[in-house]
A and B are shown apart, each in its own frame.
Chain A
Amino acid sequence: MTLRRTAYRTAMFVVALAGVAALWEFYKWVGPDDGGKVFGVAILPRANDTAMPHVWSMLSRYGKPELRGSDTKIWEVVLSGAWYSFRLSLVGFVLGGSIGVGLAIVMARFRIFERGLLPYLVLSQTVPLIALAPLVVAWGGKLEIGPFTWPRWLSASVLGAFLAFFPVSVGTLRGLSSAPTAALELMQSYAASWRQTLVRLRFPAAVPFMVPAFKLGATGAVIGVVVAEISTGLKGGIGRLIIEYAREATADPAKVFTAVFGAAALGLAMAGLVAAMDVLLMRNRPKEITA
C-alpha cells in the first residue's frame, strides 16, 4: 500500500519534470528568438540558444570538462559544490531549528514573550538577506573567543539559520499549543509539572505541526546559504558556481543551468531528510489524510 503510493509519487515527480522540460522546448520552438514586445515593452523572453539552451545540451554539459582542456568533468564540480553547500545548510538548519524550537518553548511557556517576541520575529524576516550577509561576515570576522576564530563559512550557515528558524518557531509554537484541553486537564489532574507536560504531551502533540515547519526551515536554510555564498563570495559552494558560470553565459549558456539544477537538488535533499524524519516519528500515529 505504502510502497505503491511511493512508486506513484516517484512516477508523478518524473512526469512533472518531463512536463517542465517539454514546456521549455515547446516555448523554444514557438517563441521569438529575439524576444517579443507588446506595445514597446519587452515581455516575451528570448528563445534563442544563448538564453534558453536545449534541455539535452544542459544534460550533456554535465559529462563535459568544466574548463576547456581540464580533466575534471562538470558533474564532479557541481556535485562537490552541492555537497559543500549541503553541509553548510545542515549546520544552518540544525542551528536555526534549535533556536526556533527554543523560542517556541519560551513563547509557549510565557504568554508575555509570545506577545512581545512574535512581532519582531515576523519583522526579522522582512530584512533583505543580501543586505544582511556582508554585516554577518563583518561581525563574524571580529569575533574571537579564546582559541575559537570565526570561520568564513560559518557566516553562510548563520544566514541559513536566519531563514530556517522562523518557520520552525512559528510551527512549533502552534504545535505546542495544539494539545486538547481534556489532555491538559488530565495532566493537571496528575499534578504534572510544566516540564512533564511539555515532554509527555505538548511535544508529541506538536510533531504533526513541526514536520511541515521543519520542511520549510530546511529549504530556507539552503536558500540562505546559497544567497550568502553569492553575496559574500564564499568559495567552494554551489552559490559561487552559479555566479561564476553565469559570467560565461554567452559563450557556454548550458553551463550555468548545471549549477542551478545542483542547487535545486540540494533543496530536495534537505527536504527529503526531513521527510525521512517524518516517516520515523509518525510511524505509530493514526494514518489520516494530511491537509
Chain B
Amino acid sequence: MTDQAPAVLVSGVSKIFNDGTPKRVEALVGVDLRVERGEFVSLIGPSGCGKSTLLRLIANLLEPTSGDIAVNGKSASQSRLEQDYGMAFQQSGLFDWRTVAKNIELPLELKGWDKAKRAERAREMLELVKLPEFADLYPWQLSGGMQQRIAIARALAAHPQLLLMDEPFGALDEMTREYMQGELLRICAETKTTVVFVTHSIPEAVYLSNRVVVMSPRPGRITKVIDVNLSGERTEDTRNADDFFHGITAVREGLRGTHADHANAGAVRGVEDR
C-alpha cells in the first residue's frame, strides 16, 4: 500500500560530484532520512553541507551516486514524472511574461488540464495565499513577499502531497519573513501538505518544523535530528515561549557539534543566529 509509505524515504544515499577528477566533491555521504506524511521537516546546516543537494535528490533534479530515494512509496523519478511534489526556490522564479494567474496555471497547463479548470484552480490558490485581487497583474508589479506567496501558490496548484522548499524566504526582510512563516504553516495545515524545507536560519527552522535535521559539511552528512514539536498552535507568542528557545538552543548545539574541528569558531559560519 503506497498510502502507508512515508512521504520521503532516503536510504544510504551518497552524491559525489566530478567523480574521478581533481575537482571531486563529496556532497553527501551515507544519508538516511524518513519523513512521515503531514510532517514538516527542516534541513539546516552551514554552506556546503549538501542540504540543497539533498532536496534536489528528493526532487529527482539530481541522481544519487549510490543509495535509494522513494517519494510516496514510488521511485523519485516516477514521482517527478507524476508531479507528486511542488517546489519553491529562494528566487520566486515566476515568469515575467505571464500574469500572476497564468504563472499559477503553469504546472496545470503542463499536466494538460483544460482552460476552465485551470482558471478555477488559480482562483482557489489565490484565495489560499490571500492575493485574489492580483490575478491579472504581472509578477514584477508585486513586492518580493507577494511574489513568494504566488510561487507557493504555483507549487501547490496541482495539490501535491509534498512541498519541497529551498530557502524560500531567504531573500525577504525579517518582518515579511515572519509573516510568511505563519502563512506557510496555515496553508500547510489547510492543505495537509508534507514539507521538506531547506534553511540556514535557526529560529525559522525551529518555528516551522516538527523535526530539524542538522547537517555538516565535508563530506555532507546528517549529524543530528532534533524533535521540536512546539506545543499547540503557533502564534506570535510562540516566538517568546520557552519551548521555542529550548528548540533554538538544541539546534544551535547540534550545529556547534558539527564544527568541533573549528575550535575557535564562536558562531557557526553560514548559519544565521537570529
Shortest C-beta distance, A72 to chain B (Å), equals 49
Contact mask B241-262 → A, CB, 8 Å, 1/0? 0000000000000000000000
- Contact of B91 with A180 in the complex, beta carbons under 8 Å: yes
Task: List CB contacts (< 8 Å) of A159-210 with chain B.
Answer: 180, 182-183, 185-192, 196, 200-201, 204, 207
Instruction: Let me know if A185 and B106 touch, CB within 8 A.
Output: no
**Interface members, chain B 62-110 (any A CB < 8 Å):** 80-83, 85, 87, 89-91, 93, 95-97, 106-107, 109-110
- C-alpha gap A192/B81 in the complex (Å): 9
Q: How far is the CA of A191 from the CA of B59 in the complex (A)?
A: 11
Q: Does B140 contact A (CB under 8 A)?
A: yes
Within 8 A of B (CB), among A194-242: 196, 200-201, 204, 207
**B61 adjacent to A189 (CB under 8 Å):** yes
Contact A182-B91, Cβ < 8 Å, known A189-B59, A190-B110: yes
Q: Is the CB of B87 within 8 A of A191?
A: no
CB distance from A82 to the nearest CB of B (A): 36
Tell me whether A186 and B138 are in contact in the complex, defined as CB-CB below 8 angstroms, given that A180-B93, A285-B96 are known contacts: no
A186 touches B81 (CB 8 A): no
Near B by CB (< 8 A), chain A positions 259-291 give 284-286
Residues 182-209 of chain B: 1 if any A CB is under 8 Å from the residue's CB, otherwise 0? 0000000000000000000000000000
Indicate if the CB atoms of A186 and B96 lie closer than 8 Å.
no
Q: Which residues of A contact B106 (CB under 8 A)?
A: 190, 200
Chain A residues with CB under 8 Å of B97's CB are 204, 207, 284-285
A184 CB, min distance to chain B CBs, angstroms: 10
Note all chain A residues with C-beta closer than 8 A to B85: 189
Task: Tell me the smallest distance from the CB of B157 to a CB of chain A, in Å.
Answer: 10
Q: Are B87 and A186 in contact (CB under 8 A)?
A: yes
Complex Cα distance A114/B145, Å?
A: 40
- Nearest residue in B to A201 (C-beta to C-beta)? B95
Looking at A188, A189, A286, the one whose CB has the most chain B CB atoms below 10 A away is A189
Whether A186 lies near B110 (C-beta < 8 A) is no
**CB nearest neighbor in A for B109:** A200
Expressed in whole angstroms, the Cα–Cα distance for A208 and B15 within the complex equals 37
Flag A60-74 by CB within 8 Å of B: 1 or 0 each: 000000000000000
Q: Provided the pairs A191-B80, A286-B96 are in contact, do residues A182 and B110 lie with their beta carbons within 8 angstroms? A: no
Interface centre among A183, A191, A207, A284, by most chain B C-beta atoms within 10 angstroms, is A191
Which residues of B are found within 8 Å of A201, using beta-carbon distances? 95
Q: A189-B85, A190-B106, A200-B106 are contacts. A182–B80 as well, Cβ < 8 Å? A: no
Structural contact, B93 and A182, CB atoms closer than 8 A: yes
Asked if B138 contacts A284 (CB within 8 A), the reply is yes
Q: Mark B134-150, 1 if CB is under 8 A from A, else 0.
A: 00001010000000000
Min distance, Cβ B10 to any Cβ of chain A, angstroms:
17
- By a CB distance below 8 angstroms, the chain B residues around A186 are 87, 89, 93
Q: Are B61 and A188 in contact (CB under 8 A)?
A: yes
CA distance A201 to B109 in the complex (A): 13
Q: Which residue of B lies closest to A285 (CB)?
A: B96
Distance between B92 CB and nearest chain A CB, rounded to angstroms:
9
Contact of B83 among A180, A191, A284 (CB under 8 A): A191
**How far apart are A200's CB and chain B's nearest CB, in angstroms?**
7
Chain B residues positioned under 8 Å from A189 (CB to CB): 59, 61, 80, 83, 85, 87
Instruction: Give residues in A with beta carbon < 8 Å to B.
Output: 180, 182-183, 185-192, 196, 200-201, 204, 207, 284-286
Top 6 closest A-B pairs, CB basis? A286-B140, A182-B93, A204-B97, A189-B87, A191-B81, A190-B110
Could you name 30 residue pairs across A and B whose Cβ atoms are closer than 8 Å? A180-B91, A182-B91, A182-B93, A183-B93, A185-B56, A185-B61, A186-B89, A186-B93, A188-B80, A189-B83, A189-B87, A190-B83, A190-B107, A190-B111, A191-B80, A191-B82, A191-B110, A192-B110, A196-B110, A200-B106, A200-B109, A201-B95, A204-B95, A207-B97, A284-B138, A285-B96, A285-B140, A286-B96, A286-B138, A286-B140
Extra pairs beyond A182-B91, A183-B95, A189-B87 (10, CB < 8 Å) = A182-B93, A185-B56, A188-B61, A190-B83, A191-B81, A191-B83, A192-B110, A200-B109, A200-B110, A204-B97
